[in-house]
Structure 1
Amino acid sequence: MRLTKIFSVLGLLVGATFFALSLTPSLIPRSAYMQGILAGTAFTCGYIVGVFIHWLWNYLEIPDIPVTKWQRRMLKRGALIFCICLVVGFLWQGAHWQNSIRSLMAMPPVSGVRPFTVGFVALLVFLSLWAIGKGFRRIIREVTKRLEMHIPERVALLTGLLVALALYWGILNGVLLNTGLHIFAVISERHDTAVAEGLSPPKDPEKTGGARSLLSWDSVGHQGRRFLTLGPSVEDIKEVAGQGIEPIRVFVGLNAAETPIQRAYLALAELKRVKAFEREILLIATPTGAGWIDPGAVNSLEFLYRGDVATVVAQYSYLPSPVALLTDDEYGLTSARALFKVIYEYWENLPTRTRPRLYLFGLSLGAQLSEDSFDFYDIIDDPFDGALWAGPPFGSGIWQVITDNRDPGTPAWLPQFKGGEVVRFGNQYGGYLGQEPWGRFRIAFLQHASDPIVFFNLRWMFRKPDWLERPRGPDVSPDLRWFPVVTMLQLVADLNVGIAPLEFGHRYSPAGYILAWMALTEPPDWDEEELQRLREKLKIYPVR
């Protein structure tokens, strides 16, 4: 058959196996298009593995199994038929596996033309990557052929490989990536300066962004304008809690000052102007890349303390978190450290009895930057009250150390550390448990067992993740299995977190934040009836 002449039979066998395994469930549901991209990529990776094994077999001069030409031809045809049957069978089973995750997350099941869509997209991805690979190989051959007449064959081959790598890397990184990032940055900056319909400056001139504010309405940016105007009013708080005052929100946009330290001092001046240090709670919230703060996190805290909360945010980028990480993650860290340092140094010099309780918050990249914004040695003499870090990404240092050294017998998705004296973990179902009393300085991690941002790690390529051991998280499919290489590719696909519903994956709900703030800060005078009323009220606010 012509296919067995164009493609490596062993490559097709291993590729089909990877393809089939990629259809099994992972942490969150996948759309048909994302599943097709994943399956095509997995097939390509398996194909490369198969080709490499075949090359290594020949390079080591291991003799082939003695068969006749007719037997070899029949073996190739049988292998090709097996690949087709494997792919088709697993494609039809794929909908069932996706539904095993969707049922856990109360999502409607999938069916219909999904297998055809997945198969077609996967074929396009594989053929595209295969063509790129053929081009790469052709460059190596052409360079090697021209050089081997003048230099040793192996040196010529190595030179050809280096030339192909340099050429492809130059096109990918120097042209496509840089051009794409530049275009994305220009679009994001324009979006940040545009004023969304329905958002207007505060009528109260004393509020941030108002007529008397040190921060102009134009300088706070798109996310800043949303943050300053879409939170609960004093009337909303009184409706739920019976009494309340207007919360204080301060947002320093990227255009408010030239440098992070200047923006930090501007934030401090604005906090003092609006009397934020007279509130019960002062929250330093570190945003995600574009300046977004999860509304559920701040809204829930403001309700729980009946408005007696001041929150300060400093923007460090126009770009979404993944793009911000690719361009300049150090700038975000510099900004987070500057804001914490300036506010903490002022706060620690206030009278202990009258100063507000100081907490930190961050989600995703914001959690990572918030975690790195201070040094424990700098605060050990006078620590702030605590931190809530939601969905900490896989690069978070403190999270990784604590999880790897968790108390024996506790699961990786809800660990306990040294009896819970300082650090505790929770999720949308509760948690925050410990055998020891929780001290005055507290750190809480809010994480879903189904959050790929939290649990992705390159080491899962060849090692089974701890969070797959029994018992598993209640929102993790029982059909999820670990396969070398393939599971890591699935987790990469899962990083496209948008398909997960609220309360699953990387999407954290106000109800989950209520549980976290209740455990971390212990607000007084809330019974279950009032908390249920609060949960219902928070559903009316935007989640983005």
Structure 2
Amino acid sequence: MRTIAAFSVSGLFLGAIFFALSLTPSLIPRSAYVQGILSGVSFTLGYSFGVLIRLLWKYLEIPDIPLNNRQRQVVKRWVIISGTFLIFGFLWQGTYWQNSVRTLMGMPAVSGAGLITIGVVALIVFLFLRLIGRGFHKVVLVVSAPLAKRIPERVAMIAGLLVALLLYWSILNGVLLRLGLHAISIVYEQLDEVIAEDLPPPKNPNKTGGADSLLSWESVGHQGRRFLTLGPTAEDIKEIAGEGIDPIRVYVGLRSADTPQQRALLALEELRRLRAFEREILLIATPVGDGAVVLGAVDSLEFLYRGDVATVAAQYSYLPSPIALLTDDKYIRTSARSLFKVIYDYWVDLPVSTRPRLYLFGFSLGAQLSEDSFEFYDIIDDPIDGALWAAPPFSMGLWQMITDNRDPGTPAWLPQFKGGEVVRFGNQFGGYLGQEPWGKFRIAFLQHASDPIVFFDLRWMFRKPDWLEYPRGPDVSPDLQWFPVVTMLQLIADFNVGVTPRGFGHRYSSLGYTLAWIALTEPPDWSEAELTRLRMELKTRSTP
């Protein structure tokens, strides 16, 4: 009885509803542990809303329904019983909902949703968050109680609330966050120094990292060594396309030079040494946070142009993308801009008839930084040939503007913009449609309809997303429904991007990149039989 009395009836009621709704499907499948965390957070948030509604009710002095203590206990029991049935009913249905998403992605069905795991994890999360909430409330009371003797009670309560907010924010941002970021930075920097046994320096002295290179094998870092080592050779390309040469790859690590400008100049000199500006295609690839360049994207372009491609990339961080943004957003943007400006300024002075076609590429955070690496008015007199931006994050300004202002009647997950004259969208199934001829300067966005990094937005807390309108993307479950607040929490849980097979969610396949490069660059002399062999080859290659 005392345990029941300790909880708010309205809180338990809304908490149960939020818990149940959190079990409905979202963009990608969820494991039992992730579902437990999501359900625990959802229950806590629903419970908090219920408590706030009750406090507001009392603050406004709205009269309660007259009930004695016994009647209140009966009501509370019925709320708990009905909420329990609601939760278990949705838990039972949850297996079907998760399988509706897994089926779309070619994943095996699950026979159970891990009900016990979900329940235990959710309970732990709720109790932990409630403990934090009680501590917050305690701080408010400790501050407001003595103040209430000298100033109005409500003013004292507001003062206590502000002090509690300041204290909790200081602990989170000033202590925990900084210590956590520092520890993570140390770990990833040490990992970047490790030279794997299967990634020896190139035997060819002319290759980047070789004996004659301006860049030492140690300085390019772990991700740079992977990028320089794991690409296709001339023999690989000849086997698929009949003819081919060794592609050129240049990668400048954080240890290669002290400043972004120095690293950019070093990259230019290495490109010149390798005669990269004599190739058909020159690609500036912006890595993700930890320095990784998406091999599948570069591999596919090199095959399509039979090796006549030079790619350059410069590392700007050791850390995963979200953490890299938190540490020094200005620095990483400066790095991307420095590399583009140095390469573009040299390229633009070359004879138009003999210089390579210049393209940009970026994945996720790399796409956002690639977009930020130049201003359109700086290249308007002599524009680059185009850009392929894959998995554009929801914070990417150009993508957001184009999607919000798309042509009427086109879906948010595959929009068209001004007839497709400059910008076109595609996915793992194709796309890149337009009513107008695609001009010389082209931008292609490659995005999956099931990618939460692309389609997350704080607006979805209280507004139904446009991408849930019909027709939906082919990899979005028809059972996905929008619920205020809960859907946004589900999309945050979907940031656990590693659970989907390649070609869905935030994991992009070589096939998707191949379709994008074909549409964007129009490589010549590829028969359907050769393209089929290429797809099979790219599918078997190890691409992160």
Aligned to 2:87: 87
More displaced stretch, 159-168 vs 216-225: 159-168
1:275 aligns with 2:275: yes
- Pairwise CA distance, 1:92: 1.6
Counterparts of 1:328 and 1:110, CA distance in 2: 42
Counterparts of 1:428 and 1:235, CA distance in 2: 28
1:330 aligns with 2:323: no
Once the two structures are superposed, what CA deviation does each residue of 1:261-293 show, in whole Å capped at 9, x if it has no partner? 111111000000000000000000000001111
1:522 aligns with 2:522: yes
CA contact (8 A) 2:94 2:113 kept: no
Once the two structures are superposed, what CA deviation does each residue of 1:408-443 show, in whole Å capped at 9, x if it has no partner? 100000000111100000000000001111011100
CA contact (8 A) 2:358 2:385 kept: yes
1:396 to 1:113, Cα distance in 2 relative to 1, 3 A: closer
Aligned to 1:9: 9
Counterparts of 2:291 and 2:178, CA distance in 1: 22
Aligned to 1:490: 490
Once the two structures are superposed, what CA deviation does each residue of 1:151-179 show, in whole Å capped at 9, x if it has no partner? 33233222221221222122212221111
CA contact (8 A) 1:91 1:119 kept: no
The one-letter code sitting in structure 2 at the alignment partner of 1:445 is F
Aligned to 1:197: 197
Once the two structures are superposed, what CA deviation does each residue of 1:207-244 show, in whole Å capped at 9, x if it has no partner? 10001100110100000000000000111000000000
- Pairwise CA distance, 1:257: 0.8
Aligned to 2:467: 467
Counterparts of 2:422 and 2:435, CA distance in 1: 11
CA contact (8 A) 1:406 1:417 kept: yes
After superposition, where does 1:79-228 map in structure 2 within 5 Å? Answer: 79-112=79-112, 114-228=114-228
CA contact (8 A) 2:420 2:435 kept: yes
- Pairwise CA distance, 1:481: 0.2
Counterparts of 1:166 and 1:111, CA distance in 2: 47
**3-state SS of paired residue (2:254):** coil
**3-state SS of paired residue (2:160):** helix
Counterparts of 2:48 and 2:527, CA distance in 1: 60
1:18 to 1:83, Cα distance in 2 relative to 1, 3 A: same
After superposition, where does 1:118-517 map in structure 2 within 5 Å? Answer: 118-517=118-517
Counterparts of 2:111 and 2:142, CA distance in 1: 48
CA contact (8 A) 1:23 1:35 kept: yes
CA contact (8 A) 1:230 1:541 kept: no
The one-letter code sitting in structure 1 at the alignment partner of 2:191 is H
Counterparts of 2:117 and 2:69, CA distance in 1: 38
**3-state SS of paired residue (1:353):** coil
Counterparts of 1:43 and 1:290, CA distance in 2: 35
CA contact (8 A) 1:94 1:115 kept: no
- Pairwise CA distance, 1:113: 6.3
Counterparts of 1:434 and 1:159, CA distance in 2: 57
More displaced stretch, 156-165 vs 494-503: 156-165
Once the two structures are superposed, what CA deviation does each residue of 1:14-59 show, in whole Å capped at 9, x if it has no partner? 0110010010000001111011100000111101110011011111
CA contact (8 A) 1:185 1:319 kept: yes
Counterparts of 2:292 and 2:532, CA distance in 1: 27
- Name structure 1 gaps, 5 residues minimum: none
Counterparts of 1:181 and 1:34, CA distance in 2: 23
1:133 to 1:57, Cα distance in 2 relative to 1, 3 A: same
More displaced stretch, 82-91 vs 216-225: 82-91
Q: Give the RMSD, CA atoms, in angstroms.
A: 1.0
- Pairwise CA distance, 1:150: 3.4
- Pairwise CA distance, 1:354: 0.3
**3-state SS of paired residue (1:539):** helix
- Pairwise CA distance, 1:539: 2.2
The one-letter code sitting in structure 2 at the alignment partner of 1:368 is Q
Counterparts of 1:359 and 1:113, CA distance in 2: 45
Counterparts of 1:2 and 1:21, CA distance in 2: 29
Counterparts of 1:164 and 1:70, CA distance in 2: 36
Counterparts of 1:325 and 1:375, CA distance in 2: 21
CA contact (8 A) 2:95 2:113 kept: no
Counterparts of 1:148 and 1:460, CA distance in 2: 40
- Pairwise CA distance, 1:93: 1.3
**3-state SS of paired residue (1:183):** helix
- TM-score (norm: length of structure 1): 0.99
Counterparts of 2:321 and 2:25, CA distance in 1: 26
- Pairwise CA distance, 1:148: 2.2
Once the two structures are superposed, what CA deviation does each residue of 1:53-95 show, in whole Å capped at 9, x if it has no partner? 1011111011111234433221111111011111111112111
Counterparts of 2:110 and 2:333, CA distance in 1: 42
Counterparts of 2:16 and 2:84, CA distance in 1: 8
- Name structure 2 gaps, 5 residues minimum: none
- Pairwise CA distance, 1:536: 0.9
**3-state SS of paired residue (1:87):** helix
- TM-score (norm: length of structure 2): 0.99
The one-letter code sitting in structure 2 at the alignment partner of 1:177 is L
More displaced stretch, 63-72 vs 235-244: 63-72
CA contact (8 A) 2:205 2:211 kept: yes
Once the two structures are superposed, what CA deviation does each residue of 1:316-342 show, in whole Å capped at 9, x if it has no partner? 000010110111121111011111101
Counterparts of 1:436 and 1:415, CA distance in 2: 14
CA contact (8 A) 2:420 2:438 kept: yes
Runs of 4+ in 1 over 2 A off after TM superposition: 1-4, 66-73, 146-156
Counterparts of 2:44 and 2:68, CA distance in 1: 30
Counterparts of 2:301 and 2:405, CA distance in 1: 31
**3-state SS of paired residue (2:540):** coil
**3-state SS of paired residue (2:35):** helix
Percent identity for Structure 1 against Structure 2: 72
Counterparts of 2:15 and 2:328, CA distance in 1: 37
Counterparts of 2:420 and 2:97, CA distance in 1: 37
Aligned to 1:538: 538
Counterparts of 2:422 and 2:37, CA distance in 1: 43
**3-state SS of paired residue (1:117):** helix
The one-letter code sitting in structure 2 at the alignment partner of 1:203 is K
More displaced stretch, 70-79 vs 308-317: 70-79
The one-letter code sitting in structure 1 at the alignment partner of 2:534 is L
**3-state SS of paired residue (2:387):** strand
More displaced stretch, 89-98 vs 177-186: 89-98
More displaced stretch, 312-321 vs 528-537: 528-537
CA contact (8 A) 1:100 1:479 kept: yes
Counterparts of 1:87 and 1:216, CA distance in 2: 59
**3-state SS of paired residue (2:444):** strand
**3-state SS of paired residue (1:444):** strand
Counterparts of 2:362 and 2:84, CA distance in 1: 48
Counterparts of 2:152 and 2:15, CA distance in 1: 35
Counterparts of 1:168 and 1:401, CA distance in 2: 35
How many residue pairs match? The answer is 544
1:2 to 1:543, Cα distance in 2 relative to 1, 3 A: farther
1:25 aligns with 2:28: no
CA contact (8 A) 1:462 1:484 kept: yes
Once the two structures are superposed, what CA deviation does each residue of 1:177-228 show, in whole Å capped at 9, x if it has no partner? 1111100000000001111121100000011000110011010000000000
Counterparts of 2:328 and 2:124, CA distance in 1: 33
